[in-house]
Structure 1
Amino acid sequence: MLTVGLTGGIGSGKSAVTRLLGERGAVVVDADRVAREVVAPGTEGLAAVVAEFGPGVLGPDGALDRERLGRLVFSDPGRLAALNAIVHPLVARRSAELRAAAPRDAVVVNDVPLLVENDLAGMYDLIVVVDAPEDTRLDRLVRSRGMTEADARARMAAQADRAARLAVADRVVANDGTLADLETRVAELWEELVERAAAG
C-alpha cells in the first residue's frame, strides 16, 4: 500500500485532482467528506460543536450550518482552534478506519486540506501538493463558488501559505491551465504512484 497525502490551498483544484485519481483506481479518503460525516446529526461531533459554539450554528433541519460556522471561525484564530480541537481527532480516527479497509496493494490518496497546518506530512509515504497562483485561486473562489472576495481572502489567509505547502511537497501538480492540462499531469502522476505501490 502506498499512502499519499494530497493537499493544496483552497481554490487550487485539489478536489479535481482527487476525483481524477479516484477515477483511475485510487482509494480516496477525503478529509472534508469525513469531517462532514463526523458532525452529521446525531453524532458526538455535532453535540460537541453545539456545546462549544451554541445552537445558533444549527440550521432549521438540525444539521450543522457550515456557512454560519465558517463565518464565526475563519476570522478568529482562537475559535478556529477550538473547532479543530473537536473535529480533527474524530476525522483522524475515521480516516484511519478507511485506510485500514483498503487492499494491501492500493494507492490510498488522503485528501487533506490542512495537512501542512496540522503538521501531518510524516503520516504519509508521499506528499502531493496541487498548486495554483493566489490570484487564480481567488478568481475561482469568487467566480465558481460564489464567495465574496473578502470571504475568499479570509479562507485563504486561514490556511498555510503557498511556500509552506511547496516546502513539504514530494510532487507538485500545477493547476494553472486547462482541465485537459490537469488530466495529463494527473495521468503522469498516477503512473508513478502505481509503480511505487507495486514496488512496495
Structure 2
Amino acid sequence: MITVGLTGGIGSGKTTVARLWKKRGAVVIFADDLAKEMMRTDSKLKKKLIEVFGRQTYRDDGSLNKPHLIREAFEKNRVSELNGIVHPAIQKKTKQLIEDARASGVRLFVYEAAILLNNGRPDYVDKVVLVTADREKRLERVSARDDSSEAEIIARMEKQPDFDSLHHLADYILFNNGTEKELKERAEEMYQKLIGNN
C-alpha cells in the first residue's frame, strides 16, 4: 500500500483530485472532516478543549460551540494552541486508519489536508502531492462556489501556508490553472503513477 499526503490551498483543486481518486478505489481521509468528527466524538480531545478554551466550547447537548471556539482561537490569536491540541489527536487517528487500511489490503490511502506540510513532511506518508494554481484562479474558483466576499476569501487564503515555499517538500506537483477536465486528466495520470509504484 502507498500512503499519499494530498495538499494545496483553498481553490487549488485538491478536493477534486481527492474525490476522483476515491471514485477510483482509494481510501481518502479528509483532514477537516476527521477533525470535526473527532472534536464531536473523542472524549479525551473534548476534555482538553474544555480545559483550554472553557466550558462554553461545548453546548449542554454535547455539540461543539463553533462560534465560541472560533472567537477564542482566531480572534484572540490562539490558533496555535488549538492546533497543538487537535493536530496530535488527528495524526494519531490517521496513523491508526493507515494501519487499518493496510491490514485490509487497500492499495492507495490518501490523506487530504491543507496544512499537511506546516511542520515539515509528515512521517506517515510515502509520497506528497501538492495541487497548486495561481492566486487569481483560486480566488475565481472560490468566489464561484462560496457565498463569501473577495476580502473574506483572501483572508482565508492568507491563513493558509505559502504553498510556493513548500514545493521542495512535494514529490509531485499538479499545476491547475486550466479547466476541471484538464485537472481530472492529470489526476488520473497521477493516480496510475502512484498505484504503479505500489
Question: How would you bin the TM-score normalised by the shorter chain?
Answer: 0.7 to 0.9
* CA 60–4 in structure 1, closer or farther in 2 if over 3 Å, else same: same
Give the deviation of 1:20 after TM superposition.
0.6
* CA 149–52 in structure 1, closer or farther in 2 if over 3 Å, else same: farther
Runs of 4+ that moved beyond 6 A: none
SS in 1 for 2:197: helix
Supply the distance in 2 between the matched residues of 1:67 and 1:14 (Cα, whole angstroms): 27
8 Å Cα contact 2:128/2:171 also seen in 1? yes
* CA 67–141 in structure 1, closer or farther in 2 if over 3 Å, else same: farther
Match in the other structure for 1:84 = 83
Over aligned residues, Cα RMSD in angstroms?
Answer: 2.3
Match in the other structure for 2:183 = 182
* CA 104–181 in structure 1, closer or farther in 2 if over 3 Å, else same: same
Match in the other structure for 1:43 = 43
8 Å Cα contact 2:95/2:124 also seen in 1? no
8 Å Cα contact 2:17/2:187 also seen in 1? yes
Match in the other structure for 1:2 = 2
Match in the other structure for 2:141 = 140
8 Å Cα contact 1:12/1:175 also seen in 2? yes
8 Å Cα contact 2:139/2:154 also seen in 1? yes
Supply the distance in 2 between the matched residues of 1:185 and 1:7 (Cα, whole angstroms): 15
| Counterpart residue identity of residue 81, structure 2 | A
Match in the other structure for 1:191 = 192
- After superposing the two structures, state which structure 1 stretch, 144-153 or 154-163, moved more: 144-153
- TM-score under structure 2 normalisation? 0.86
- What percentage of residue pairs aligned between the two structures are identical? 35
Match in the other structure for 1:115 = 116
SS in 2 for 1:38: helix
Supply the distance in 2 between the matched residues of 1:139 and 1:96 (Cα, whole angstroms): 35
Give the deviation of 1:86 after TM superposition.
1.0
Structure 2 residues without counterparts, runs of 5 or longer? none
Supply the distance in 2 between the matched residues of 1:19 and 1:89 (Cα, whole angstroms): 25
Aligned residue pair count:
196
8 Å Cα contact 2:131/2:173 also seen in 1? yes
Give CA deviations for 1:20-64 in whole Å, capped at 9, x if unaligned.
111111111221121111101563323322332235555686422
* Alignment of structure 1 residues 132-171 onto 2, 5 Å: 132-171=133-172
| 2:96 is equivalent to residue 97 of structure 1 | yes
Supply the distance in 2 between the matched residues of 1:36 and 1:107 (Cα, whole angstroms): 23
| Counterpart residue identity of residue 159, structure 1 | Q
8 Å Cα contact 1:129/1:171 also seen in 2? yes
Give CA deviations for 1:92-145 in whole Å, capped at 9, x if unaligned.
111111111113451111112211113234432111001111122223333312
- After superposing the two structures, state which structure 1 stretch, 36-45 or 1-10, moved more: 36-45
| Counterpart residue identity of residue 173, structure 2 | V
8 Å Cα contact 1:74/1:158 also seen in 2? no
Match in the other structure for 1:124 = 125
| Counterpart residue identity of residue 97, structure 1 | Q
